Amino acid sequence: MKAVWPHLPALQVVIPLIGALLAGFMRRGTTAFALALVVSWLMPVIAVCMLWQVLSSGTISYHLGGWEPPWGIEYRVDALNGFVLVLVSVVGAVIMPFARRSVAFEIAAPQRAWFYCMYLLCLTGLLGIAITGDAFNAFVFLEISSLSTYVLIALGPDRRALVAAFQYLIMGTIGATFYVIGVGLLYLLTGTLNMADMAVRLAEAWPGQSPAVIAALTFVTVGVSLKLALFPLHAWLPNAYAYAPSWATAFLAATATKVAIYLLIRFLFSVFGASIDVRALPLSDILMALSVAAMFIASTVAVFERNVKRMLAYSSVAQIGYITLGIALANQAGLTGGLVHIVNHALMKAALFLAVGAVFYRACPMNLTDLAGIGRRMPLTMTAFTIAGFGLVGTPGTSGFISKWYLAIGAIERGWWPLVIAIMASSLLALLYVGRVLEVAWLRKPSPAIADASDPPLSMLLPLLVLALATIYFGIDTEWTAGMASTVAKALLGGVR
Amino acid sequence: MTASALPPALVLIAAGILLPMLSGRLRPTLLLLAPLLTLYLIWQVPDGVAARHAYLGYELVLVKGDALSRLFATVFAIMAFAGGLFALNQRRVIELAAAFCYAGAAIGVTFAGDWLTVFIFWELMAIASTLIIWSVGPSAYGAGLRYAAIHLLGGVLLMAGIVGEIASTGSTAFDKLTLDSVPRGLILAAFLLNAGAWPLSAWLPDAYPESSWSGMVFLSAFTTKTAVFVLLRTFPGTELLIYVGLFMVFYGIIYAILENDMRRILAYSIVNQVGFMVVGIGIGTEMALNGAAAHAFTHIIYKALLLMSAGSVLYMTERRKCTDLGGLFRTMPFTAICGIVGALSISSFPLTSGFVSKSMISEAAGKEHLAVVWYLLAAASAGVFLHAGIKFPWFVFFQKDSGLRPAEPPWNMRMAMAFFAVLCIGIGVAPQALYALLPFGVDYIPYTASHVVFYLQLLLFSGLAFFLMLNLLKRTLTITLDVDWLYRRAGVSLAKSFDRLAGRGWSGIATWTTGGASAVGRAARYYHGPEGILARSLPTGAMAFWAAIMLVIYLALFYL
């Protein structure tokens, strides 16, 4: 144990990477699943150990290959990315048991092992983005996660998945290119790729708003915004989520956009924050306007959407709007709200997509009208859906309420009352689209098409229920989520000029 | 956390959640024991803060006791017990589960020491009561949906008010407020919505009668009376409430007189009776507040008794229209007598519970020299006797013979009715026990000669009026059975014209708003609907174009 302890940051990334390689050599889906399960369950152990270490003794700096930081690659774990690592790995671990049956149902036998291989690669990439302290290394991991994501989406049972994956490939590539252009500019300006070092040098050499720094900031912001599906750069997301395999959608919705959001926060607050006042630029105004637009427009689209998975995908765009709103507010309460919504939204959206996956596993319908009366046939599944749905609305007693509460407080602290009303009003839109499903699922007569559907087996039901209960639990006990988010927000704002 | 600090509300809510998982004998046992345990816990709550919980950086005061909260919590627990007893044969367990969560949440509000706790239990009540209505089945879905929508609106108003209140004063304490800011106005509006105050009162007679024979017994007790409690706690002595209350009193009477469905009559009379309490709160003297609190206590019991009686009739005959009923005294004498006791109480007949509580409100109005209020309340008392005191028992149990010969309801329903009938008369005969529970000291003696004579006169004359009009129409009644006709003849054309006027105004507003709303809806569908520009799948080029646009916008704005 003693020998492993200092190498935890490397193991966090290396274990899934090796797992992916091994899975690539496997033929049978079941063995690949077993491997993916073991890896997924190891990840949170490592992540929690690191977070504990960070909280008790401060930032971890790991020098890959023993090279000193400004030259070599540094893995740097502080409260912010420790938090993100725990989130990503825990979500992966919790929903992994669901995958076996769902994947076996939706994906042809020869491709199942590849599915797990791609999942492990994607996990490698996401954890890598979160853990690395090197801007270019983050780009490499961004590409690893993106490329594997395109494959995951293309494996979807619907042929439209291919088009969706292709569009995402184009958009993801543009995003990554913008990001790498931004990083290139920063490298020209500072001569370093290490984020912490970059921040120091930017503050020393380029104080104030130099055009080059601003160009770099713009490219990075827009590139990452594409990856996190900020409105109006979200157009790739609804189809990608709607046609990907059910389990992959749940995993990606809960983790991929969240890691991109992490990257945005890292650049805005830790890298640029030290040299330029992010709040003085129109950046925060633009981000705010786009967030509010996302909250309303994407929610309204969701209200009219007939395909349940696409509806949830649009709801994701709207919910990401809440998170970026918290970033744009850039004060203690607002940022806490945004950060805590990263966790809360990840948990409830995973629950919702898993519930939809479970319904698909049992009954195959995806249009809203086919779901008539499904609540009577699959009561536990739909109960979980209902709880998580109320979370989206922000009903008190669910975790969604906590996020919106902090956001509202943050808006009030900045004196923007209309924003408070916007938060409440967009919650009503969420009530409409969630309520539409609930009305169909619970109040209508069961249609004959779903006559012999029933709750899925325990391996699928358990992850679903755990996530739904977490939605309630984190709505009541906010010590771990909001408490942690508040610590992180304080640290982030402390580093800003 | 000792047993005494265990929030009483949580016991009932936990029981409600457990109920669907139990079967056989365990379910009735829990149904009867949980309210009794809650009642015991309620009386263990000391004065002052008893349970806290840190939440969102605020201190939630889950349990804070004083005389007022104990009074309301006590009657809520008694209500849950008698309602559970009455509903033992209710096969739809989801209704019972929801009813217990509902009662628990109401008790939670009465012990809440801060705004957030109030809000949490408030919303829980809305959800649980909607479930009670929905548990009936497809016939109640529409009404339940409307009910839920109105209460969600109330929740939004309350939330906005609370956030504003906390932001502007920095205090979360759930305490007396003066009506001097917008957030407080929102809070008051949310409270009045739940109290059934006009113009957002239509949810009550719309939704309650759609619930089952036992569901309405629960529904009648908690939502409106919790609203009375929070008004008592936060807005005592707000003059506006006098007018709101008087309006509710007469609104309830007029509509109840026009109504034919026995349970809708009783629903309107809830609005009417809550109106009395709201007037009392508006007057705001110690005696008026005592009166409002006492009237809430007695009202829950006699209104539940009336609804149990009506529920028994519905359970045995499956009919609810006055014109379909009548002459049931022959085979349901026990139910009829209990109904009559309830009817006498609601009419505040001397020696019943209504007399000892309602007369306090009138007396307080008199003491404050609010002559107009006093006269209106006296007139309203006569009106109550007309619509609920006589109309309900007369048309259901007497009048013509409908040919129905239902048996008495099962023993548990009779027990529940007997229990409440005894309480009604017991409180009426010996009011001191109730008076001892009131928030302020009582030096009021209900049984003075002038009080008794005044009320007896009032009741006798309005009763006389009822039967005089009835005699006038007796011959046609046996043939037409048309109740509306009877009242149209008796000069309620005034009420009708008022109804028409209100109807015209309302439909004008409704057309205007629906017109506007449907235009917004069309626009939303045009842009956001499946084929709309914001929802259809874009070609890849368009997506890339947007990325370029964003880049340009950022750069342009940064360099400007």
What secondary structure does DSSP assign to B221-239, as a single string?
HHHHHHHHHHHHHH-TT-T
Which residues of chain A have a CB within 8 Å of the CB of B542?
235
Q: Is the dihedral of CA A55, A58, A59, A60 positive or negative?
A: negative
pLDDT range class, residue A282, cuts 50, 70, 90: confident
pLDDT for A446 equals 80
Structure tokens at B514: 């629906």
Examine residue B280 and state whether it is found in any structural domain, yes or no.
yes
Tell me if B163 and A283 make a contact (CB, 8 A cut-off): no
- Does A14 fall in a domain? no
Q: Does A221 touch chain B (CB under 8 A)?
A: yes
- Contact between A304 and B543 using a beta-carbon 8 Å cutoff: no
% of chain A exceeding 70 in pLDDT = 97
> Token digits for B97?
């589960």
Of A22-26, A202-206, A419-423, A488-492, the least confident: A202-206
* A445 pLDDT higher than 70: yes
Look at B554 and A221 and tell me if their CB atoms are within 8 Å.
yes
Are A410 and A279 in contact, with CB atoms under 8 Å apart?
no
Residue B371 forms part of a structural domain: yes
| 8 A C-beta contact, residue B495 and residue B387 | no
Q: Would the pLDDT of B497 be above 80?
A: no
pLDDT of residue B470: 65
The minimal CB distance from B544 to the residues A174, A408, A476 is found for: A174
Query: Is A332 within a domain?
Result: yes
Residue B265 lies in a domain: yes
Mean of the per-residue pLDDT values of chain B:
82
CB-based contact A348:A392 (threshold 8 Å): yes
Q: Using one digit for the tens of pLDDT, what is the confidence trace for B319-351?
A: 877 777 878 888 888 999 999 999 989 888 888
Q: What's the rounded Cα separation, in Å, for the pair B143 and B88?
A: 25
User: Could you report the per-residue pLDDT of A339-358, keeping only the tens digit for each?
Assistant: 999 999 999 999 999 999 99
Nearest to A359 by CA among A299, A425, A308: A308
Q: Which of A330, A346, A343 is nearest to A490 (CA)?
A: A330
Contacts of B552 in chain A (CB under 8 A): none
Distance between CA atoms of A258 and A343, rounded to whole angstroms? 8
A393 at interface of B, judged by CB pairs closer than 8 A: no
Residue A242 has pLDDT above 80, yes or no: yes
Q: Which residues contact A367 (CB under 8 A, 6 or more apart)?
A: A306, A307, A308
pLDDT, mean of residues B14-35? 85
pLDDT digits (tens, 9 = 90+) for A121-131: 999 999 999 99
Taking the CA of residue A409 and the nearest CA in chain B, the distance in Å comes to 8
The answer to the question of residue A91 being in a domain is: no
Q: How far apart are the C-alpha atoms of B521 and A447, rounded to whole Å?
A: 29
Ramachandran area for residue B137 (φ above 0: left; ψ -120 to 50: alpha; else beta): left
For residue B529, which residues of chain A lie inside 8 Å, CB to CB?
304
Residues of B in contact with A431 (CB under 8 A): 152
Contacts of B123 in chain A (CB under 8 A): 395-397
Contact criterion met (CB < 8 Å) for A226 and B547: yes
Give the residue from A405, A477, A487 with the most B CB atoms within 10 Å of its CB, the best one to mutate: A405
* A166 in a structural domain: no
Give the H or E element holding residue A477: none
Distance (Å, rounded) from C-alpha A119 to C-alpha A36?
8
- Specify the DSSP class assigned to residue A26: -
Interface test with A, best of B526, B543, B549, B560 (most A CBs within 10 A): B543
**Nearest by CB: B557 against A282, A301, A304:** A282
Give just the sign of the alpha carbon dihedral B440, B443, B447, B450: negative
* A225, A408, A428: residue with CB nearest B163: A408
Tell if the CB–CB gap between A178 and B159 is shorter than 8 Å. Answer: no
Place of tokens 């989130």: A87
Give the range with max mean pLDDT: A61-70, A378-387, A443-452. A378-387
Q: Report yes or no: A469 at the B interface, CB cutoff 8 Å.
A: no
Q: Which of A217, A218, A386 to mutate to test the interface with B (most CBs of B within 10 A)?
A: A218
Minimum-distance CB partner of A402 among B56, B134, B542: B56
Find the helix or strand (DSSP H, E) in which B103 lies: helix B93-111
pTM for this structure?
0.72
With CB atoms and an 8 Å threshold, state whether A305 touches B123.
no
Residue from A160, A230, A300, A481 whose CB has the most chain B CBs within 10 Å, to mutate? A300
- For residue A401, the one-letter residue type is F
Owning domain of residue B433: 236-442
CA–CA min distance B5, chain A (Å): 19
| Residue-wise burial string across A216-248, b where 16 or more C-beta atoms lie within 10 A, e elsewhere | bbbbbbbbbbbbbbbbbbbbbbbbbbbbbbbbb
Rg (CA), chain A: 21
A321: chain B residues, CB-CB within 8 Å: none
Decide if A267 touches B, using CB distance below 8 A. no
- In B, which residues are within 8 Å of A287 by CB distance? none
Q: Which residues contact B37 (CB under 8 A, 6 or more apart)?
A: B11
In the chain, the amino acid numbered B416 is A
Indicate if the pLDDT at residue B544 is higher than 80. Answer: yes
Q: Tell me: the pLDDT tens digits for B202-211?
A: 788 888 888 8
User: At B519, is the secondary structure helix, strand, or coil?
Assistant: helix
A397 touches chain B (CB under 8 A): yes
At B150, the amino acid letter reads I
Contact A397 B119 (CB under 8 A): no
Q: Is residue B250 part of a domain?
A: yes
Question: Chain A contacts of B532, Cβ < 8 Å?
Answer: 301, 304
- A108 CA to chain B: closest CA distance, Å? 27
Range of the domain at A382: 280-497
Kindly report the number of other CB atoms within 10 A of residue B543's CB atom.
21
* Side-chain half-sphere exposure of A464, counting CA atoms within 13 A: 31
- Which of B160, B530, B558 has the CB atom closest to A214's CB atom? B558
Confidence of residue B506 (pLDDT cuts 50, 70, 90): low
Per the domain annotation, does B54 fall within a domain? no
Q: Go through B252-268 and write b for each residue having 16 or more CB atoms within 10 A of its CB, e for each that does not.
A: bbbbbbbbebbbbbbbb
The total number of structural domains that make up chain A = 1
Nearest to B119 among A232, A396, A443 (CB): A396
Contact indicator for A451, A364 with CB cutoff of 8 Å = no
Nearest to A167 among B543, B547, B550 (CB): B543
- Structural domains in chain B (count): 1
Residue among A171, A226, A300 whose CB faces B528 most closely: A300
pLDDT category at B360 given cuts 50, 70, 90 is: confident
Kindly give, in sequence order, each residue whose CB lies less than 8 Å from that of residue B464, ignoring residues fewer than 6 positions away.
none
Residue A152 has pLDDT above 90, yes or no: yes
Is the distance from CB of A385 to CB of A451 less than 8 angstroms? no
A311 Cα to chain B: minimum distance (Å): 10
CB atoms B540 and A170 under 8 Å: yes
- pLDDT value, residue A207: 65
Per the domain annotation, does B32 fall within a domain?
no
A266 secondary structure, DSSP code: I
Neighboring chain A residues of B557 at a CB cutoff of 8 Å? 282, 286
Please give the average per-residue pLDDT across B519-527, as a whole number. Answer: 76
Q: Which helix (H) or strand (E) holds A74?
A: strand A74-77
CB contact under 8 A, B537 and A238: yes
Query: Does A453 reside within a domain?
Result: yes
Residues in chain A: 497
Instruction: State residue A352's pLDDT score.
Output: 94
CA angle B281, B445, B67 (to 5 degrees): 45
B254: confidence class by pLDDT, cuts 50, 70, 90: confident
* A274 pLDDT above the threshold of 80: no
- Rounded CA-CA distance B119/B156 in Å is 10
Contact A232 B550 (CB under 8 A): yes
Compute the average pLDDT of residues B94-99: 89
What mean pLDDT is predicted for residues B505-518?
Answer: 70
**A1 C-beta neighbours (distance < 10 Å), count:** 4
Q: Do A226 and B524 touch (CB under 8 A)?
A: no
Residue of B48, B117, B42, B114 lying closest to B72 (CA atoms)? B42
Residue among B195, B151, B155, B226 at smallest CA distance from A396: B155
The torsion angles phi and psi of B59, rounded to 5 degrees, stand at -95, 115
Q: Does the distance separating the beta carbons of B550 and A167 come in below 8 Å?
A: no
What ipTM did this prediction achieve?
A: 0.80
Q: B535 pLDDT band (50/70/90 cuts)?
A: confident
Is the omega angle on the peptide bond into residue B410 within 30 degrees of 0, that is, cis?
no
Closest residue in chain B to residue A395, using alpha carbons only: B123
CB contacts under 8 A, A 67-96 vs B, are none
Residues A42, A13: Cα–Cα separation, whole Å: 11
pLDDT(A137) > 80? yes
The least confident of B100-104, B262-266, B527-531 is B527-531
- Which range, B120-134, B435-449, B493-507, has the best average confidence (pLDDT)? B120-134
Residue B175 lies in a domain: no
The nearest CA of chain B is from the CA of A305 a distance in Å of 6
pLDDT at A248: 94
| SS3 annotation, B9-54 | HHHHHHHHHHHHHCCCCHHHHHHHHHHHHHHHHHHHCCEEEEEEEE
Mutation target among A222, A287, A428 for the B interface, most CBs of B within 10 A: A222
Angle of helix B215-234 versus helix B67-86 axis, rounded to 10: 180
Note whether A162 contacts B: Cβ–Cβ < 8 A. no
The verdict on a CB contact (< 8 Å) between B55 and A300 is no
Q: Report the share of chain B in percent with pLDDT over 70.
A: 91
Lowest mean pLDDT among A9-23, A437-451, B216-230, B264-278: A437-451
H-helix segments, B473-539: 474-480, 483-489, 493-528
**pLDDT tier at B28, thresholds 50, 70, 90:** confident
Gap between the Cα atoms of A181 and A184, Å rounded: 5
More confident residue, B385 or B344: B344
Mean pLDDT, all residues of chain A = 89
Q: What is the pLDDT of residue B476?
A: 35
Secondary structure (H, E, C), A207-241: CCCCHHHHHHHHHHHHHHHHHHCCCCCCCHHHHHH
- Assess if residue A353 is contained within a domain: yes
Instruction: Please report the pLDDT score of residue A342 as a whole number.
Output: 93
> Greatest CA separation found in chain A?
70
Going by C-alpha positions, the residue among A91, A84, A76, A41 that lies closest to residue A484 is A84
Of residues B451 and B244, which shows the higher confidence score? Answer: B244
Within-domain flag for B212:
no
Average pLDDT over residues B122-138: 88
